[in-house]
Structures are given as C-alpha cells and as structure tokens.
Amino acid sequence: LSGLVGSEMCIRDSCGIIPDLVCELRRTTPGVAGGRARLVRCLFDVKTVYAGNVQYGAAGRAGERAGAVERRARLVPAAYDLAARQQDRQMLVRRAVAAGGDADAVPALDDLPVGPCLRRLREFPPVTGLVFGSYGEASPGVHTLLTVLARAVAEREWREMGARTESEARGIVMAQMRHQLSLAAHAGHMRVLQARCAYVGLAHGAAVAEAARQGAPTAAHAAMWPGPESLGVDGRGSGG
C-alpha cells in the first residue's frame, strides 16, 4: 500500500498486502443518475488456481462454469483484510515488547481495534482478484479490466487505427488483448509444468531437497514469459 511499504507496518518483505497492480479507473457514484465519473485508485492481486485445487472440486460439484477462478477471486478481499489486521497486531506486539510490556496483553485479531494498516486499506475499494486457472480460464475481474482497457485505447486511438467507429476499434483491441493474455497465461502454465518434470516420481521430501540443491525457481519465476509485442497504432503489432 502506498505510504506503507518500507515502514514499520510491513514487518516482512512480503506482508501480504502489497497489490500486484494499481491503476486509476473512472467510476460513477452508485445510485446517482447522471453523476459524473471520477478517477478511483483500484488495487488488483494476481492469483492462480492449479488443477485439483479445492476450488475446482467445489465448482465442479456446483456445476459452475469457470467457477474455480471466481471462487478464488472472492477470497482475495478477505485475505487482504486479514493481512492488514495481522500487520497491525504485529506492530502493537513489537511496540509492547520494546516498551518492556507483555506481548500477550495485545488483543487478539478479532478484538483488535482498527489500526493504521487496515484503515489505509479501507481507503480503497475492495481489492479485485485477477485469477487464472489451469485450463486457460480467468475470473470476471480479468474480463472487466480488459474491457475497461480496450474502451480506453479505442477512445483514444480509433482514428489512428483506421477503424470506422470507436466501437469497431474497441472490438479489435479487445480481441487482440484476449489473444495475447491467453497466450501468456497458457505459456506461463506450461513453463511451470516443464520446470516440475524433474520431480515426477519423487516423494515430497525428496522433491523439496532436490529443488533446494538445484536452486529451482519458484512457480512465479518459472512462469515468467517475455511481454507481448506492442500492438502499435495500426493494431497489427508492428507499430508502423
């Protein structure tokens, strides 16, 4: 969170409340007809769901199409809220210990008053989970963000693209963004699987030991993939 990273509120290097993406989106006030849109800073967190995960089982039993990624996305706001509460409590524990007090006297999470970290988090809209599944599916937040981006690009560049209307340009940009994102998601997933092939047939302990010996990358680093080529103003990726 802006203004908190690097301060005493982030006790660890990865404190669980640092979003993967922050951007400003136009939003209108709910319930106000004809209200002017205003820029709102929104937080996004990228997650993945692997095959066999509990979300896939629950979604399958409920007959939900792409339900696993949607279920995972719904867990993101509560996870951020919990992480903020934990950071606030850890800060109080550190202060109590530094002052020679008893750390056990710090209230439990459920009884903890709203602290600075949680208060800062609540200044933003609920964090949106951008979740990608093992079968190429994505959560609703991904599709909504792509729609917003495509609309913004089309509004600004539809004439330079040679499109007849802004709506036509929006459709072109949307299709290209979906294509590029799909390729990146599938390629990243395949790279993770390929990086794990050496551990097939090993017991969990042996696999962990072998990974440590080789200095194997984490799943996030194994999934790294070169960024897609810029679309350019002509919409064909050449930039000319």
Q: What are phi and psi of 185, to 5 degrees?
A: -65, -45
| Residue 138 DSSP SS3 | strand
The H or E element containing residue 93 is helix 76-98
Mean pLDDT for each 10-residue chunk of the chain (240 residues)? 35 64 79 70 91 85 88 94 92 89 86 92 94 91 94 93 94 94 87 81 85 70 49 43
What is the per-residue pLDDT for 28? 67
Is 127 in contact with 44 (CB distance < 8 Å)? yes
What is the per-residue pLDDT for 3? 36
What is the per-residue pLDDT for 204? 85
CA pair distance 16, 108, nearest whole angstrom: 19
What is the per-residue pLDDT for 8? 34
CA pair distance 141, 143, nearest whole angstrom: 6
What is the per-residue pLDDT for 224? 55
What is the per-residue pLDDT for 232? 46
Q: Where are the beta strands (DSSP E) in the chain?
A: 21-27, 38-48, 128-132
Q: Beta strand pairing status for 38-48 and 21-27?
A: antiparallel
CA pair distance 224, 219, nearest whole angstrom: 9
What is the per-residue pLDDT for 16? 65
